[in-house]
Structure 1
Amino acid sequence: MYTGKIHTRSFTGYFRRLRFFGGVILFALYFGTAWLTWGDRQAVLWDLSEKKFHIFAGTFWPQDLVLLSGILIICAFGLFFLTVLAGRVWCGYTCPQSVWMWIFMWAEKVAEGDRNQRIKLDEAPMSANKLIRRISKHALWLLISLATAITFVGYFTPIRDLVSSILTMNVGGWALFWTLFFTAATYINAGWLREKVCLHMCPYGRFQSSMLDADSLVITYDAERGESRGSRKKGADYKSEGLGDCIDCQMCVQVCPTGIDIRDGLQMECIGCAACVDACDSVMDLIDYDKGLIRYTSDRELNGGGLRIVRPRLVGYSFVLLAMIAVFSWTMVSSPLVTLDIAKDRGLYRYNSEGHIENSYVLKITNKNQKIQSYAIRVSGLEGLQLSHTGTVTVNSGEMVEVPVSVSVNPESLLGDVSDIRFHVSTVDSPAFKLVEDSKFTGSVSL
């Protein structure tokens, strides 16, 4: 692998266009979603100060973070499935590090020119022209990094307020810190570290080999067709000279963002971007050879076997993935839009003015509906239980209300020092909906 500074060459091709349009969609989702609104709030907002997470119509609370764990597990299995199917296709097309790295390389080309111009610029002594080009490149990098950071922070604090405060120089300390932090992180990762993040910091490349099998589609050089390498004149009978289809033009190496030579075989550093496929196919077109000297294929097909997409291992991953998605979807659909959490006062009990034993509780009612709801509360479990709160509780959409209540009962009704009771919460406009949560009532049994 090349260990110096990597200068990638410009190229065109099917996979480059595919990656470009995919990148446009990803950029539109990333930068555009933060500006969407849902009702009177930002559509997607992880409001850490309020401990609420808004995702379009849904509002989630810290106790719902188990759902986030489910999403992450599903994504992990999805990545496993993609790896078994087509190697590091995630890295080459949709990984944020790769997508931003390609954007930064484009900015570098705009400011300093194509590969040969950049190499000459690196070797040239400092001059006004070189300084201007360097400043232009880093200015573009910083501009992209700042836009990335503002958008990222905008998912955790309302982005319209954030941008307004930045423009008026009235941004808060923490918002400013995180904006500068992610600006620097993007600038360093995508501008300076680039492929080093993929090679030395990301663990995925190191365990992918344990997930591949003989039928996984990976980028491969067809050595049987390409060897021996060597230059030749167009139209010459190169077969009689013992040459293969590879003309050793080095184009596959020059376009590789990690600087490897795919002709040395599949390597950990290969991110599956197919830049070498596009470059090689363009050369094959120029010299009237068949495309596919470098291509997506499986080890089995390369060695004369057939291409097997459907196989037990892939079916197994598919089954697990679909099962997890089904369970997650069922959990989301069946999750109640109203939750009740009960916190009992640490004090054991007390006697009120009527001589009844009284316990105190705090009821936390969370409304996940997209409209205001009014709730009625009652308690059951012991004969003669009395609840201090007799009215209704109104909770705004996506809000949580704490309701302090006390429950009292005649000591003669107690069956033991600790009794089971239940709190019932029902919507006023739809009494059929009831939410029941268990709790405990403590008191001394009357003799």
Structure 2
Amino acid sequence: MILHDYLRVLRRGWWVVVLLTLLGAGAAIAASFATTPAYYARATVVVATVGDASPGDLQQGNVFAMQRTPTYADLATTATVLDRAAATLGAGTDTEDLRRSVTSVARPETAIIDIEASGSDAALVAERANAVAEALTVEAQVLDAPGVASPVQLTVVEPAAQPEVATTPRPRNNLLIGIVVGLVLGLAIVVVADALDTRIRTFADLPRSPALATLTSIPTGRARRARGVSASDARVESFRNLRANLQFGTQARGVIAVAGVTSASDAQGVARQLAAALGEIGSTVVIADVDLRSSGSRHRDRKNDATELRPGVADVLNGTSSVDEVISVASADHVYELTTGTVDPSSAQRLSTSAMRDMLDDLSARFDYVILSCPPLVERSESAVAAALAGNSLVVVESGATKRSEFLFALELLAGVRVTSISVALDHVRDLDLGGTSGQTVLAGQTAT
């Protein structure tokens, strides 16, 4: 994928990214409110030697103080020091609770000890840090040189101050982390979901096949705002492009079989609009509906269901009517139609008979183009038969609904009946997916940038 493809994926799944980003921010805010505030206070103790001494003695004393500092830091959390601190804090102070809330750390390469206290009460943590620091200055000298004056003196040089701001939670930091996590997770889900999605939305999603002659994108019917161009105008122009591709790309003449990959494709609608586009240039066109199974699941408008009561293709194939009796004028100029007619369980099987060939020969002699509106390729076997009789096939792929595996199966069915001229119309392509190729594909095997 190139940068343009990633941007198109993000445009398609922007709402997932936004939703997860908002969820991450909301979770961070909720966690901040649910977390008990924790405060932190620190008292600083310095270790030094005392007494008159020469400069050499002072140097040795400083080295000795630095060596003893880690030991005094460890003494700060012993029971002896903590008991004295608890006594200073007053009744109700538990030594073990004090041990859990106070830590003592010697700064590397110095004679400084940091007594740190944490908890949910700002005043209490400062009192605890100061109490332990004061207790350490007394007990350390007693433990270090019992019964004699200690040459080492511990002094509290920076008492702990009552903290004004809690160290945790930090709402601003939590909010930033929540937004970043939600954003990254949303982007990952959108990209991975697109990689795992097998639905065809653009020509970039189509499996490469040398059998494809021309490719045409047909936009959806939603209104466009750019340059005041309506979606209906863009859709009409796409059928004119399809007409040009069939005329000059495949030199399709005579009979063209229009079939959707699945029932999700509106192949009948594409056939009618293609017929209207051909009629615009003065070509005479007839549409024959060869979906001859009496199934209520066929993809057609309700207003067209009434026309099935009239004699049509099924009546011509079973010999009860002639072409002249069933043909009628369609709504577009130079366009005529044959409805399905009165179908029965054997009507679909008559597509493989000589009656079907005779009907196509008769129509081809009268009209410049004969368009067969076929049932879905992967669902009805007679669709491949109609395509084989036509010689030219237009496969309608519903953007966002047809899967690559279904499209490949449709090509396999057409290859089985030796259909070599196959064009593809990608129908109802959303505006953000238009041009979704690494170079706009017009003719198979060729690209135009």
Which band: TM-score by shorter chain? under 0.3
Task: Using CA pairs under 8 Å that are at least 6 residues apart, name the structure with larger relative contact order, 1 or 2.
Answer: 2
Q: Please, what TM-score do these two structures have when normalized by structure 1? A: 0.21
**What TM-score does the superposition give when structure 2 sets the normalisation length?**
0.21
Q: Which has the larger radius of gyration?
A: 2
